[in-house]
Amino acid sequence: MSKEAQQRMEKIVSLCKRRGFIFQSSEIYGGLNGFWDYGPMGVELKRNLKDFWWRRNVHEREDMVGMDGSIIMNRAVWKASGHEETFSDPMVDCRTCKARHRADQLPQKDGTPYCPACGGRDLTEPRAFNLMLKSYAGPLENDDNLVYLRPETAQAMFVQFKNILETSRKKLPFGIAQIGKAFRNEINPRNYIFRSREFEQMEIEYFCRPEDGLALTDYWLEERLKFYEDIGIPRAKIKIHDIPDGERAFYSKKTYDLEYEFPFGVSELEGVAYRTDYDLSAHMKHSGKPLEYFDDEKKEKFVPHVVEPSAGVDRTALALICEAFDEEEVTDEKGNKEVRTILRFHPRIAPVKCGIFPLLKNKPALVEKAKAVAAALRPHMMVFYDEAGAIGRRYRRQDEIGTPFCVTVDFDTIGENGPEKVDTVTLRHRDSMQQERIPIAGLRARLEAAIF
């Protein structure tokens, strides 16, 4: 990482802590490597992201339904899917400092890998390390009760395929969508929330006829690019990596990785994979239950193929923050130059939609009116009422959390300067810092149009 990129990343991490986006899990006990907590702003950001994904992929489509599967499933699922056998990363130990690393991520000097912790070259041979976190369901901690915390949400959608097909009465092509936690005992969690041991996924399994699989993979790639654009990550910022033959999973006929240029490097946000009939066939074989589809018109029975767009909530949240982070030099009312830190979130993703301020906190009429404006908007969107400090400081605080709009109630609003501007407020725009005067009565519709 260049020094500049490192500084940018440090600023982002510090802003996220200072403004209540992301904290280390269990921080007062020294944290836990690979686990993170989302604070008041972070949880809103993630909710907005997940809600919009759900709206786009479930509510706005006739060919999709949702589900919410359990995190712990019958161990047989993971035997059938191949995870118990092969869901592993190659691990090496450094014999000098005892640190453990992923063999495929070791830095190299003169063509020889070395330990990034101590620089030593005395490394063990790589061996497979299974990434599934284990637990026990039931009172006995024995092999019969061994369970795994799911490493992906996808399997529940395959094993419930038949139930969902029957209850939803969908015809091919149709998809199942799910958002939920997944767990991987990553050897080296790193790059902030990019690679953690507990994270959330937003996954779709889109079932289709075999002959449509390849074209639908391209279709979903395009849908997903549109999605990123609609949350404020331009198409030009996403690199499409068409995984070449020989590098894809053996069952996949096509896989695209969608990558974003994080400060620490270009890295995967999402994978769109054409998985053929691998998953349903594997579960059919291991469970002994039929998972075929019967096409009424063609009078034929077959195992559907599937296209899987699989995205990470946390990685997308990080991309949104990195994309939105900006600093600009501005001159305040007194002519002093200062740096304005802004998160330029798309309004639909921004944690707080509107800051609402009385111009002065010691004027009861202003305070009362501003509180009434906030109360009227609250059922419809996340607003933040703030009366502390100079108005400029209050704007800056909202800029730092990415609030797209701020409303100020002033003496015009309460009619102290004549009747023309009664019940109007100033609406201030985060990016341009421009202000306009609008009636309170039109505020809700105006904001709702921008944040939808």
* Smallest distance from ligand ATP to CB 53, Å: 12
Contacts of 433 (CB under 8 A, 6+ apart): 330, 395
* Whole-angstrom distance, CA of residue 62 vs CA of residue 55: 12
What token pair was written down for 119?
């620089």
Burial (CB count within 10 angstroms: exposed 0-12, middle 13-18, buried 19+), residue 411: middle
Which of positions 48-77 make contact with ligand ATP (CB under 6 A)?
Answer: none
Stretch 190-229: interaction string toward ligand ATP, x if CB under 6 A: -----xx--x-x----------------------------
Does 312 sit near ligand ATP (CB under 6 A)? yes
The number of residues in the chain equals: 452
The helix/strand/coil state of 307 is strand
Among all residues, whose Cβ is closest to ligand ATP?
312
36-44, 240-248, 263-271, 412-420 -> range binding ligand ATP (CB under 6 A): 263-271
Consecutive H or E run containing 429: strand 424-429
Does residue number 270 form part of the binding site for ligand ATP (CB under 6 A)? Answer: yes
Q: Which residues is 424 bridged to in the sheet?
A: 439
Min CB(161)–ligand ATP separation in Å: 20
**Binding of ligand ATP at residue 351 (CB under 6 A)?**
no
* Residue 252 interacts with ligand ATP (CB under 6 A): yes or no: no
CB 203 to ligand ATP: min, Å: 7
173 preceded by a cis bond (ω within 30 of 0): yes
- How near is the Cβ of 175 to ligand ATP at its closest, in Å? 16
Whether 137 contacts 72, CB under 8 Å? yes
Q: Least separation, in Å, of the C-beta of 313 and ligand ATP? A: 8
Amino acid symbol at 347: P
Which of 56, 275, 315, 346 forms a contact with ligand ATP (CB under 6 A)?
315
Q: Does residue number 46 form part of the binding site for ligand ATP (CB under 6 A)?
A: no
Least distance CB 214 / ligand ATP (angstroms): 19
Distance CA 441, CA 143 (A): 65
| Window contacting ligand ATP (CB under 6 A); options: 156-164, 171-179, 274-282, 306-314 | 306-314
Scan residues 135-154 and list those touching ligand ATP (CB under 6 A).
152
Position among 271, 358, 402, 404 found at the interface with ligand ATP (CB under 6 A): 271
In the complex with ligand ATP, the residue whose CB is nearer, 8 or 315, is 315
Shortest approach of ligand ATP to residue 89 CB, angstroms?
Answer: 8
Closest CA to 287 of 120, 392, 436, 163: 163
Task: Output the smallest distance, CB 179 to ligand ATP, in A.
Answer: 12
Contact partners, residue 232, CB within 8 Å, separation at least 6: 320, 323, 324, 344, 345, 346, 349
DSSP 58: I
Rounded CA-CA distance 20/371 in Å is 23
Tell me how far, at minimum, the Cβ of 267 lies from ligand ATP, in Å. 7
Of 42 and 312, which CB lies nearer to ligand ATP in the complex structure?
312
Q: Which residues pair with 24 in a beta bridge?
A: 36
Residue 178 interacts with ligand ATP (CB under 6 A): yes or no: no
What counts of helices (H) and strands (E) characterise the chain? Answer: 12, 25
Q: Which of 186, 259, 399, 412 binds ligand ATP (CB under 6 A)?
A: 186
Minimum distance of ligand ATP from residue 102's CB (angstroms):
9
* Contact status: 268 vs ligand ATP (CB under 6 A): yes
Phi-psi region of 230 (alpha: psi -120 to 50; beta: other; left: phi over 0): alpha
Q: Cα–chain-centroid distance for residue 91?
A: 28
The contacts of residue 409 (CB under 8 Å, 6+ apart) are 356, 357, 358, 359, 366, 369, 370, 373, 425
Write out the residues near ligand ATP by the rule CB under 6 A.
152, 184, 186, 195-196, 199, 201, 268-271, 310-312, 314-315
